[in-house]
Structure 1
């Protein structure tokens, strides 16, 4: 089996819930050894984020929530009470043998325990230390706690998501998935990999780790992308447009006779082909719609013209015709339909792993990255709470059985 791209990299994951665990899972998928540190008895808060939970062999709920399963595969789980001196000493010993530490405690929390970057840098100068917080390490909001929906609101995403105030159901809307967390986790991965490259590439400043300060709010703002650019360059505040895109038109949901679909005519050529499919080629040269800028300005009139044409079609027939004409379009799938799609299946976007608590394999979303030289060839299930504590302490820290038993007796692990 091919080794992963990050084989040989060891990560100490002190993060909880989603942003940090998501980033650490990506590192694990890419071949890093990830040791997840959890609270004795309770573990990561997300273990309780259910139902639904994984069912055991008798059909009863286990302690393995589907939320936890989504962000923690490929890791080892150890338990450690970092509020105790012995627990703090344990984390310092582990950090000395790791390349990366990932944490998402509130600003200043880990400094109380001597587990902040300045303290651990003395133990391991090569350590790449990534802190994920809601608002960052600086600024007036830095002490505040927060969750994904707060950052979607404050970062502008909700202001540009949902129908406009003049439409039915209009108003700001949160996206379904926790995008602030997920995007911040992805930013963490790229920053960590860059810091590892800098550390190992040599040169005047190479050879040492560094500190990474990541904020969910910053990440959410950055991810507004061309919407933010629209405001920063033009001074125009973007508005909500429901399913409409922000580029070529039409780019929105349309109702067919049987269901809704998405159509995007991203340039003039695709728009002309759409008009041909709908048997109204004259619309390609209509003075209101003949250029992209005109279609953007007249988007409401464009919708009024195309809606009655499209609603006459059965969705499958129209999608086939648009595909043949090279016009981007697709059905609006629920997740059952997503994973039943033959293309999604051909791309291997669902993977299965055995789990000791269940008769059935656990199905998980595959990592979308396809690498030719270091492919992601296999997945391991998310760990049960503290499953690897004894093995990690024994193998990595050379602790004896008696030493491990003593820690357990003192409820450190």
Structure 2
């Protein structure tokens, strides 16, 4: 019997759709109680770069989040009893470092002050690294900020898509920022956007990160979302499967010096079942993008949303701009009485039902990413996406296949030994 056969696959179920009028939100229906894990604050929509696969609208706007908005976002978490023992604040959208260090020197302590000592708050910034200098490094160390750098690999890959606003490549400036982080002893991970051009160059991709002493890499891809209406991976899925398999080989060869987020996640899911929660009397696989308020995104002006962070500020005929409320006017949970929240949640629940009824990986995922369902399939109430296949299924299947292959010689040896004994 193969390792795959020993995994408890989730049985397929008959799909039952739920009209939005029948869906109500009751905080007490969830066990364990809902707690916000990520508070995603968008300090500005503006970005100093003009990457051609970017999905974000309004990145020409230089509007900035006020400290009052930061304070209210944290206060709403406390008032709604959404702040648990741990919270990660992610500063994201646009380029966070176009807002000066002085803002974060006030904003970061403010969040902890509002939430109190019972909530351990950590902060993360995802940056293109072109603006990293000594002042930024001192701020990162002062507040213990975790750093992610957006870099797509060697220059000839990175500069294909990641341009300045004048159309010039940015790779050299990113390398300078990464070097500055290393000089200050600041650990960081990388997030690389994998495009169709990357797929035949897995070794050059891996060599770059090893040369730069980057040990943790997340492989996003140019998703079909927002302003980016088509992914270059859509016509290259067999090549992507080969790419993932080669990343796994390089991870093993590196002896743990080069780790890929998606493969690490797959290894973890195979070793340990996905956590579950109870809602409406039954167990569901834990997926933060399908549980209300587990992730909360707050725009620079205080507008907020939940579920997939990529939804906030996008346009939809059915759901408008996905804004559920504004922290200056109401709490997060007050939005659950609004029709937009009810319609949004009902559609996401229907989509979760589609996944449960049709996908053998459901128990390892819990319903996919709503934003990708909307932009790839045209409906939140839908199932499999390219995102599913790229970010979960192929890494999962590649790791599983490798485990089976590694176990086979031992299994044959064990059988032979048993036969001799008999």
State the TM-score, normalizing by the size of structure 1: 0.25
State the TM-score, normalizing by the size of structure 2: 0.24
Q: Greater Rg, structure 1 or structure 2?
A: 1
